[in-house]
Amino acid sequence: MSADILEARGLGKRFGGLAACSDVSLSVREGEIHAVIGPNGAGKSTLINLLSGDLRPTDGTILLDGRDVTASGPHQRCQGGIGRSYQKTTIFPERTVFDNARLAAQATRPGALAMRCDGKRRAAVREAALAALAEVGLEGRADTPARAMSHGEQRQLEVAMVLATAPRLVLLDEPLAGMGHAEARRMTGLIASLKAGRGVLLVEHDMDAVFAIADRLTVMADGKVIASGTVEAVRRDPVVRAAYLGEAEEVA
Ligand SMILES: Nc1ncnc2c1ncn2[C@@H]1O[C@H](COP(=O)(O)OP(=O)(O)OP(=O)(O)O)[C@@H](O)[C@H]1O
């Protein structure tokens, strides 16, 4: 079995009197997609923000490849191998697809932004950007302004921007939000391919996609983990069915 890339132990986050996350423990191994699901307000985005360093936990520990990164900020975590996407788009619409990927690639290569950045470093950044675009299938759109692309392609570009930072762990926050059926299917296939050589933590409301590609599933409600395990085991769990899936099936 592969080693854990990420391990969260007893993570908690309070906003005043509200426990948005409490005692959340989970791990992500190399080569797996670990999906986190739960109703609105369950604490999923808070969890991603804690793992990416955008929020500091009130309690608990985060280990990345066995190293304690709990106290480090988002930039350090990005350099350490955690890449994330956001619910809201983060692309620069006026820049080309390639420029967007290049800017992301620079973020994890110290010195690449310096005025006297040498040719070798520039070439490495360019190569990382092009490889990331190829991985998401946008290599043919490198010169297109990002604003001219469809919503689905823009979200593919966001994934490329995450990949350009050379992450060991990819955190995806609702990557299928707002997509049509065909776009969602394409993106689901792309997400499934990302786990090769990496770990993926996926927060997503689209249950068909989650059930199709997740290797493990953690269900949250009211800031707490109510079930965790293989997709089959979690789907059968009566507590989950009552708290969440039953509700989702009725809605569907
Ligand atoms: N910055 C904040 N300040 C105060 N409360 C917050 C903050 N961020 C989140 N919360 C609260 O924490 C709880 C968990 O929110 P969170 O966004 O993590 O849930 P979620 O599972 O991602 O929901 P959704 O599926 O709607 O995105 C909610 O009650 C939310 O209102």
**Is pLDDT above 50 for 65?**
yes
pLDDT at 172: 96
What H or E segment, with its residue span, contains residue 39? none
Question: What's the ipTM?
Answer: 0.96
pLDDT at 250: 45
Contact criterion met (CB below 8 Å) for 174 and 115: no
Q: Write the DSSP assignment of 133-177 as a string of letters.
A: HHHTT-GGGTTSBGGGS-HHHHHHHHHHHHHTT--SEEEEESTTT
Residues with CB under 6 A from ligand 1: 15, 18, 20, 38, 40-46
Report pTM. Answer: 0.91
Going from N- to C-terminal start, the domains of the chain cover: 23-81+167-252, 90-165
Name which CATH class applies to 23-81+167-252.
Answer: alpha beta
Measured in whole angstroms, the distance separating CA 57 from the mean position of its chain's CA atoms is 18
Residue nearest to atom 10 of ligand 1 (CA): 20
231 C-alpha vs ligand 1 centroid, how far in Å?
25
172 C-alpha vs ligand 1 centroid, how far in Å?
16
**Is pLDDT above 70 for 112?**
no
pLDDT tens for each residue of 140-182: 999 999 999 999 999 999 999 999 999 999 999 999 998 999 9
> Which atom number of ligand 1 is nearest to the Cα of residue 49?
18
d(CA 225, CA 157): 31
pLDDT at 252: 35
203 C-alpha vs ligand 1 centroid, how far in Å?
13
> Which atom number of ligand 1 is nearest to the Cα of residue 16?
4
Mutate to test the pocket of ligand 1, among 21, 24, 37, 45 (most ligand atoms within 8 A of CB): 45
Residue nearest to atom 1 of ligand 1 (CA): 15
pLDDT tens for each residue of 190-215: 999 999 999 999 999 999 999 999 99
**Is pLDDT above 70 for 76?**
yes
Mutate to test the pocket of ligand 1, among 11, 13, 14, 15 (most ligand atoms within 8 A of CB): 15
Residue nearest to atom 6 of ligand 1 (CA): 15
116 CB-near residues (< 8 Å, 6+ apart): none
d(CA 23, CA 12): 5
**Is pLDDT above 80 for 185?**
yes
